Structure 1
Amino acid sequence: MAADTSVEMFSNVLEAQMLQTAKIVEEQLDAEIQKLDQMDDDELELLKQRRLEALKKAQQQKQEWLSKGHGEYREIPSEKDFFEEVKSSKNVVCHFYRDTTFRCLILDKHLTALAKKHVETKFIKLNAEKSPFLCERLRIKVIPTLALVKDGKTQDYVVGFTDLGNTDDFTTETLEWRLGCANIINYSGNLMDPPFQSQKFGPSFTKLDKKAIRGKKYDSDSDDD
């Protein structure tokens, strides 16, 4: 009987909280509607013009990004091209890959999807074996590695799959979350709630210590893990 009472009390509290939340949302909507109702024709026209200008500006920005190679995941041929690419875009994700590393193919699939979704960021790949100077300069030892470049400077790295749940079966949403943590894409989800496929990875993956990640020493290729 005590257990039934506790469940009933919990249900009542939950229902009350839901009703309170619904009431707050309804009040906010009513306030917005009232505000619109009180506007005269000139104010409504001004609001309309502002929204049209915002949409036009957003469309112009999108076209500018597309003209710089955003919106698709593509390979660049050389180290020289890397510097040109990161110079022309604010946010760049560069995948350093190797043909013989099968995990690079896993990343390719996810990055292709994210490049189409996040046009605000440029997604490129570069063969690590053809860019020894750059790999040494960026201290890239593990393949695959994603270099996350903001305003022409490498701010963060996704090294192997450690930050993605330590599994080959991570989802595109997990990688999207990780890039969101680095502020290299416009992430709309909750950064404190990583979308891992299950809870088996434990609480150690719920928060990201960027300094710790950059401070790690990696001595082997991810193929050998």
Structure 2
Amino acid sequence: SNSFCTLLESLVRRPVTMDGEGPTNVVEAQLLAVAEQMERAVDDELARIDNMEDEDLEAVRAKRRKQVADMAKRRDQWLQRGHGSYHEVTDAKHFFQCVKQSERVVVHFKRSATERCAIVDGHLQKIAREHFETRFCSVDVEKIPALPQEFNVMMLPTLMLVEGGNTFHSIIGFDEFGNHDDFSTDDMVKVLSHHGMVNERGMFAADQYESD
């Protein structure tokens, strides 16, 4: 385990500057102290695992197996409700069915001729295939004008976040994505995760939603 400290020592050693001054001993000491603390924490955790009884390890494995089995069952239920793909709702009745059937829904209000809406479409198509825990759909405001009016959608694109049948937040434009067009799909996942709409660590993460 000394390799970690050795590596950090090499990182904090900076070349002497032209005026003959190098890094201060105080800075080096602080960095090495942090490294040693992290190393001790890792060693303690490894020791704890090494000292676990066989029955404890089996209990952990059994709990994790049950979590994965439960999540697989929920995945199948989500697929039956239309999760796992990104689709356009056909009318107001279809929209309210989507919102009622699923616990978490991300609704993209869009216009086909709007360039930024096309960017959002591309990201949501990828996210929907990875995050079965949430339903993703779009509403073309020109085809179903009553819906954006009902939800006071004034700017496109707008992502309306729905949980338990209630709208609790709208992501308007690209402000939350850095206000530029070249943000990544991972950037969108992080924002949706921040609002509790997806699990950033993946569908089978141990801290996934307890129920749906």
Q: Give the 3-state SS of the residue equivalent to 1:154 in structure 2.
A: strand
* 2:43 matches 1:61: no
Question: Which residue does 1:218 correspond to in 2?
Answer: none
Question: Which residue does 1:9 correspond to in 2?
Answer: 24
Question: Which residue does 2:6 correspond to in 1?
Answer: none
Question: Which residue does 2:131 correspond to in 1?
Answer: 118
Structure 1 Cα separation of the partners of residues 124 and 29 of structure 2: 43
Following TM superposition, by how much is the alpha carbon of 1:67 offset from its aligned partner in structure 2, in angstroms? 2.5
Question: Which residue does 1:177 correspond to in 2?
Answer: 190
Structure 1 Cα separation of the partners of residues 38 and 80 of structure 2: 41
Question: Which residue does 1:139 correspond to in 2?
Answer: 152
Q: What code does the residue aligned with 1:172 have?
A: T
Following TM superposition, by how much is the alpha carbon of 1:49 offset from its aligned partner in structure 2, in angstroms? 1.6
Report Cα offsets for 1:112-153 as digits up to 9, x if no partner.
122123222211111112222221110012222111111111
* 2:48 matches 1:38: no
Q: Give the 3-state SS of the residue equivalent to 2:41 in structure 1.
A: helix
Following TM superposition, by how much is the alpha carbon of 1:16 offset from its aligned partner in structure 2, in angstroms? 4.2
Following TM superposition, by how much is the alpha carbon of 1:84 offset from its aligned partner in structure 2, in angstroms? 1.0
Q: Give the 3-state SS of the residue equivalent to 2:161 in structure 1.
A: strand
Q: What code does the residue aligned with 2:178 have?
A: G
Instruction: Describe how 1:22-101 pairs up with structure 2 within 5 A.
Output: 22-101=35-114
Q: What code does the residue aligned with 1:43 have?
A: D
* 2:171 matches 1:158: yes
Q: Normalised by the size of structure 1, how large is the TM-score? A: 0.70
Following TM superposition, by how much is the alpha carbon of 1:185 offset from its aligned partner in structure 2, in angstroms? 1.9
Q: Give the 3-state SS of the residue equivalent to 1:85 in structure 2.
A: helix
Structure 2 Cα separation of the partners of residues 32 and 136 of structure 1: 55
Following TM superposition, by how much is the alpha carbon of 1:3 offset from its aligned partner in structure 2, in angstroms? 6.2
Q: Normalised by the size of structure 2, how large is the TM-score? A: 0.74
Following TM superposition, by how much is the alpha carbon of 1:77 offset from its aligned partner in structure 2, in angstroms? 0.9
- Between stretches 161-170 and 65-74, larger displacement belongs to 161-170
Change (3 A) 1:182 1:41: closer
Structure 1 Cα separation of the partners of residues 103 and 19 of structure 2: 57
Structure 2 Cα separation of the partners of residues 89 and 3 of structure 1: 66
Name the structure with the higher helix share: 1
Structure 2 Cα separation of the partners of residues 53 and 31 of structure 1: 28
Report Cα offsets for 1:140-169 as digits up to 9, x if no partner.
122221111111111111222233333222
Structure 2 unaligned segments of length 5 or more: list them: 1-16, 202-212
Runs of 4+ in 1 over 4 A off after TM superposition: 1-4, 15-18
CA RMSD, Structure 1 to Structure 2 (Å): 2.5
Q: Give the 3-state SS of the residue equivalent to 2:112 in structure 1.
A: coil
Structure 1 Cα separation of the partners of residues 91 and 103 of structure 2: 20
Change (3 A) 1:36 1:68: same
Q: Give the 3-state SS of the residue equivalent to 2:199 in structure 1.
A: coil
Count of residues in Structure 1 that have an aligned counterpart in Structure 2: 185
